[in-house]
Structure 1
Amino acid sequence: MLHLICYDITNNSLRANFARKIIACGLDRINKSVYLGLIKETPLNNLEAELSRLLKLRGQPQDSLIILPILARQVQDMRIYGRNDLDKDELSGEKSTLIL
């Protein structure tokens, strides 16, 4: 299922650690601290457990992590201003590749 993961973390090394772990799970960075992508339930549960553990251990009271399941059609309805290199079909998992 598609998920949007975003965080607001003050500690630079913790923030970089979050980014590496999320990208390693195959999500695409769509903004500085916002990621979107298809992730299966087990890897998502593992990622969520690890990120929440790190946030509890090293985070500050004002830090936050949000994990939101979204529908592919919601990605298609997304409005993007400024940066325009995001492929909605690829982000939503609807882009197909034909290999001949």
Structure 2
Amino acid sequence: MEMNEAQKWIKQFYGDRGWTNYGPFIRLGFLMEETGEVAQAIRSYEIGRDRPDESTPSQEQLKHNLIEEIGDVIGNISLLADLYHISLDEAFAAHQEKLLKRFSS
């Protein structure tokens, strides 16, 4: 799925559930929460959680969880971009241009 197509899908899916009614500060809070969950998923994948009260998931399960959490971050980034009428393609193009300018000799 292309980025702009994914962005439209996310807006529709979240919108159907009323999840696009939140303003930028609430959405940013959701993004921070999901970013923390990515950090936890990476920690679990790389070094484990060392919790005797939890079963140890397989590496496959840990990777699947990491994929899901990264997807949640993408969803929230997409909705934030949409709040400001920015397409994900436009954001990536600007990012790419900035890096190419910065690191080209």
The TM-score normalised by the length of structure 2 is: 0.27
> As a proportion of its length, which structure holds more strand?
1
The structure with the largest helix share of the pair is 2
Larger radius of gyration: 2
TM-score between both structures, scaled by the size of structure 1: 0.27
